[in-house]
Structure 1
């Protein structure tokens, strides 16, 4: 799908009465922001408010998640080619498409025997992904499983290991992608976003990898205010309590794990804008909006020399 903000004709066009009885959805909001087709009018309205709050003009905000998806593609490609990991747990069922194919298709082009497990909390997205992505239980060749899971529960990965017919094996290193999801963690009586990743890291077998992205509130006062305005729009509709975090809080999501160096131009191990994590070629034109979504990859256990 070519991303063109405001150009796509939505597939889901309910009446206004129906639309305002629908809950807001992480996946539908992102789809609207990147110019997709699978969303409602209320999602387009919310995307418009977020666009107006952020810099670089209305067409730029979609880059937050276009570059997020491209980071996911690059990080999976790197792990497939340079590590022994062949099992990927993807938080969120990949309902919004950038550059064409769903994530598991891109993974299987490089490694047909890889196992991809989508963990999805939203019932509508789950139902669609089950019908389109989930494969029959047989050999591990091109296996895709879609499971219902509360990806914002610190213990969700432990529960996933106990779920029947899910190809997760005790002690075997895996890769977990929690990308374009954590900013939308719902309000809970106890716990923070860092508690979610702490529980996840505690469950990961040694040798496993964790890829994260999170919306960022930059340090510059005018950009921090822009992030605050955009975050308030999302939080008002139940899409997260703190959708934009300061850089230090995003770094804290990785706990004690050591991040990989993000590109060949630095030795600093820290989250960077998604477009700057090992870009496929020379750095392209930078946009202010890129500073509002940071990405990183870390490994549990002994560091490896791949970065």
Structure 2
């Protein structure tokens, strides 16, 4: 299959390919598109939420490579390409910035390696990031990332797919503890607005799609549990907010849809 061709192989689903389908990409299967359709049936603006996730990562990357002066990036949960990618945004500002994508999906890894073959400063590595030490001690990662110097860690829309038993709080804590002072963390997660909130029913319906799909992952967590994933970090203003509200690129011409308020994020700096 050449890049850009739409696959019709109905061989299971994966969140990276469902995400690609929601963004209007071509690198997904019929089964992935069926799940994407389930999300938009529950919330027609769910594609806007997917784009919020993508665009937040791009804005955060631009801030980190530019204003914050970070030259090393670890992007967890590598996605299939749709529009700009982290390395393109970062390397426009600093051509010598090193970007390593951490992925586990075979299709993502195959595409990434093909697309990055001619970019000496960008690499994709197959590492099980659920155990941070796998990443911190991986020979390929350490070849391109110097953990003694500040690093931008991008965990955008990843840990919401990690169940409690894998302790996503400890995953973040280990990375923060191992990072050099001056490192930054870009982070996004699905928000449980709490019982009785006007968005509670919508959140429950979207989570049902996640958990009852073949992916069986996608957890909404309360705001206090989300902020607990960022221990010891100084949060860049405006703190933890819906992604559409984190330093948007321009004035908003239409209101944010209710479902877009259910994906929040922040950028934090290790003192």
Provide the secondary structure at the position in 2 that maps to 1:107. Answer: helix
- The runs of 4+ residues in structure 1 deviating greater than 6 Å are none
Change in CA separation of 1:49 and 1:144 when aligned onto 2, cut-off 3 Å:
same
CA distance in 2, matches of 1:239, 1:245: 18
Which position in structure 2 is the counterpart of 1:159? 137
Deviation at 1:165, TM superposition (A): 6.5
Which position in structure 1 is the counterpart of 2:185? 210
CA distance in 2, matches of 1:172, 1:135: 26
Q: For structure 1, which segment, 22-31 or 239-248, has the greater mean C-alpha deviation from structure 2 after superposition?
A: 239-248
Which position in structure 1 is the counterpart of 2:60? 75
Task: Judge conservation of contact 1:87–1:175 (CA < 8 Å) in 2.
Answer: yes
Deviation at 1:242, TM superposition (A): 4.6
Change in CA separation of 1:246 and 1:170 when aligned onto 2, cut-off 3 Å:
closer
Unaligned runs of 5+ in 2: none
Provide the secondary structure at the position in 2 that maps to 1:155. Answer: helix
Unaligned runs of 5+ in 1: 1-8, 138-142, 263-269, 302-307
Provide the secondary structure at the position in 2 that maps to 1:82. Answer: coil
CA distance in 2, matches of 1:198, 1:238: 29
Deviation at 1:173, TM superposition (A): 0.5
Give the superposed CA RMSD: 2.2
Match of 1:123 among 87, 97, 106: 106
Cα deviation code 1:274-305 (max 9, x no counterpart): 1111111224432212211111000111xxxx
CA distance in 1, matches of 2:161, 2:96: 32
Deviation at 1:155, TM superposition (A): 2.7
Cα deviation code 1:155-184 (max 9, x no counterpart): 343233x43663112411010111122222
CA distance in 1, matches of 2:235, 2:142: 32
| Count of paired positions | 266
User: Which structure carries more helix by proportion?
Assistant: 2
Q: What is the 5 A alignment of 1:133-148?
A: 133-135=116-118, 143-148=121-126
Change in CA separation of 1:65 and 1:105 when aligned onto 2, cut-off 3 Å:
same
Deviation at 1:222, TM superposition (A): 4.4
Task: Judge conservation of contact 1:157–1:200 (CA < 8 Å) in 2.
Answer: no
Which position in structure 2 is the counterpart of 1:221? 197
